[in-house]
């Protein structure tokens, strides 16, 4: 028997033994299906822009692809795991331009709940912080899939195309929950 996410959600239970409602399961499935694709797409765009702005990194990434794959076209999971420079490039793009740029989980006012005292949190923002996928219990469940998907896509593109930026700047569009580049976001590509 193969497990799948829908069956896992149907069988899931809260600490008190209660099952998830159909509405909760539907909401989780929609979140998994759509939120992840949109955030990955925005991250994909930022990586393209950053590689266009830093062609020396793009050249190093192409060399990494040659070293790992040689003449092979087919990627394996092990190949993706070896792509450390590409992995670091993706993580740096996420650090610089997290698609979800606001995480609202800070206790602003102390309170008591269920016999526990919850103190006010101090602002511990770090300029080097990485919030792209959240953390702890609220961490994105699609983090591994998203990073592997981006590595696979960029592996193919780096081996088959060269890119050139067509805009002088790519400001962040903060008018949406997902912060992508402000349109138009044009890039020229050429098959190599």
Segment 63-85, tens digit of pLDDT: 999 999 999 999 999 999 999 99
Query: Per-domain residue ranges for the chain?
Result: 19-191
Q: What is the mean pLDDT of residues 129-140?
A: 68
DSSP string, 66-130: HHHHTT-----HHHHHH-HHHHHHHHHHHHHS-SB--------S-EEETTEEEPPPP----TT--
CATH superfamily of 19-191: Cytochrome P450 (1.10.630.10)
Q: How high is the mean pLDDT of the chain?
A: 87
The structure's pTM equals 0.75
Which among 27, 51, 42, 36 is positioned nearest to 176, based on CA atoms?
Answer: 42
pLDDT tens per residue across span 79-127? 999 999 999 999 999 989 988 776 656 677 888 989 988 888 765 656 5
- Does residue 2 have a pLDDT over 60? no
Q: Given this model, what pLDDT does residue 119 score?
A: 83
């Amino acid at each position: 028997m193969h497990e799948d996410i829908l069956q896992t959600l149907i069988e899931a239970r809260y600490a008190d033994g209660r099952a998830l409602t159909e509405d909760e399961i539907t909401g989780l499935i929609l979140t998994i299906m759509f939120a992840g694709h949109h955030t990955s797409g925005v991250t994909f765009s930022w990586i393209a822009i950053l590689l266009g702005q830093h062609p020396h990194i793009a050249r190093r990434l192409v060399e990494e692809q040659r070293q790992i794959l040689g003449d092979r076209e087919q990627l394996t999971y092990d190949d993706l795991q070896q792509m450390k420079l590409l992995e670091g490039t993706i993580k740096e793009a996420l650090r610089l331009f997290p698609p979800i740029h606001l995480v609202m989980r800070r206790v602003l006012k102390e309170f008591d709940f269920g016999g526990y005292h919850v103190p006010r949190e101090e602002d511990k923002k770090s300029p080097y912080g990485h919030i792209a996928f959240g953390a702890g219990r609220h961490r994105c469940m699609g983090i591994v899939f998203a990073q592997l998907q981006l590595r696979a896509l960029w592996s193919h593109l780096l081996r088959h195309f060269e890119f050139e930026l067509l805009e002088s700047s790519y400001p962040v569009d903060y008018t949406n929950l997902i912060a992508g580049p402000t349109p138009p976001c044009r890039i020229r590509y050429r098959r190599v």
